[in-house]
Amino acid sequence: MNRLFKNAWVFHDGGFSRENLAVSGSRIVSFDGGDIFEESDFTDCIIVPGFADVHVHFREPGFFYKESISSGSMAAARGGYTAVCAMPNLLPPPDSLENLKRELEIIERDAVIEVVPYGCITKGRRGLELADLKAMAPFVSAFSDDGSGVDDARLLKEAMLQAKALGKVIAAHCEVRELAAGGYVNECEFQRLNGHKGISSASEYKMIERDLELAKQTGVKYHVCHVSAKESVALIRQAKADGIDVTCETAPHYLCLDDGCLQDDGRFKMNPPLRGIKDREALVEGLFDGTVDMIATDHAPHSAEEKSKGLKDSAMGVVGLETAFPVLYTELVKKKNLPLKRLIEAMCVSPRRRFGLQGGLLAAGSPADLTVIDLNASFEINPENFLSKGKSTPFAGKKVFGRVLLTLKNGRTVWKENTTKN
């Protein structure tokens, strides 16, 4: 099928230019007017490479009632994503080639976009014995025990050495268990006034501090998941200046919310928790100056029952794939003057570069992985309309700008909004 997208602002070479973009089959092509193309007018819209999220939980195999590869990948496509990396807190966990193949078979059958799994760092994600990293390496994006940190420094160092030899990233959930145990919100005024148990920022940055030293010793490609604290940003900024091969991500909720937004509602419960306003400001500053390399949603769906028990007893985690771009565009680009190109870099270019994901270019010959967005379209976030099985978001009811109209994966339409301009 030949398609011509006309009059859009197209992202390439780090900026936008108004032009037409042609797709033939699975590829972007040069348009010479010789063939017949189906035309769509996207005046005043932007066309960007499909977003990439390196931190999602698709729950399959093992927890199909929360999410599936099918529902999760469709939600991602609706949010403008064409590639995601799926975390390993599954049943069975992908800690061996045999277990990993079970996940890969489901992905091959059901995914509508590129879904690349993580392999576990340790067997069963228990932090006691290394998983078979070498056998899994050709099939995974990176290695992580996300949801748990690796407490044993010697074991993590050995994992880093193996990952270094295999050319793979170690993506770390940084949490000192003794400092976080039993907590579920940030240590803050809301926590104290309402009798909740807090999680200190030290539980995050103390583990990052340890891991950065190990990364320095081993030379591994080290990635810090879901950074939430100002001290963490400072440590990572200094580590980069010192030449350590480190990248990091943060999530939309840490950039756009803080503990002043807390309510006794499960949709405000995630790990790490929403931090203070100074932490949020440090994360935004880090995104501006490049210390924060990328934005990942930590899309973590649960059933309605699991999220209906208030802050204390609800499951940890919120969904984010279907709301990430409009929330970030509204809060950071429109309100804080973050350059739009920087947001696109953080949602597309940087994650693909670090994790070796395909795509990211809108040039003749490249795969037609792209997203069309109407920046002027406003709407109210309604979780009942989500394609994800998970409906729990702290952004419910928020008015936002930036509607995803169309997502293509290898030239195939994987999402089309009913209001697409023709």
Bridge partners, 4 (sequence order): 22, 39
Residues 83 and 367: their CA atoms lie apart, in Å, by 12
Phi and psi torsions of 5, nearest 5°: -100, 115
Q: What is the DSSP string of 20-61?
A: EEEEETTEEE---S-S--EEEE-TT-EEEEPEEEEEE---TT
Tell me whether residue 97 is exposed, middle or buried, using C-beta atoms within 10 angstroms of its C-beta: 0 to 12, 13 to 18, 19 or more.
middle
Residues 6+ apart with CB under 8 A from 165: none
What is each CA distance from 127 to 91, 142, 190, in whole angstroms? 16, 17, 33
Helices assigned H by DSSP within 81-120: 97-110
| Tokens at 225, concatenated | 């998941």
Residues 6+ apart with CB under 8 A from 241: none
User: Within its chain, how far is the Cα of 27 from the centroid?
Assistant: 25
CB contact burial 183-205 (16+ within 10 A = b; e otherwise): bbbbbbebbeeeebebbebebbb
Residues 311 and 195: their CA atoms lie apart, in Å, by 11
Query: Are 175 and 207 a contacting pair, CB within 8 Å?
Result: yes
Q: Using alpha carbons only, give the angle 278, 282, 285 rounded to the nearest 5 degrees.
A: 140
Q: Which DSSP symbol is given to 367?
A: B
Tell me whether residue 159 is exposed, middle or buried, using C-beta atoms within 10 angstroms of its C-beta: 0 to 12, 13 to 18, 19 or more.
buried
Residues 6+ apart with CB under 8 A from 73: 58, 84, 110, 111, 112, 113, 115
What is each CA distance from 32 to 22, 23, 28, 36, 37, in whole angstroms? 10, 12, 13, 10, 11
Residues 326 and 322: their CA atoms lie apart, in Å, by 9
Known catalytic membership, residue 298: yes
Query: Are 86 and 58 a contacting pair, CB within 8 Å?
Result: yes
Q: Of 95, 146, 258, 298, which residue is the catalytic one?
A: 298
Residues 6+ apart with CB under 8 A from 18: 7, 8, 9, 10
What residues are labeled active site? 298
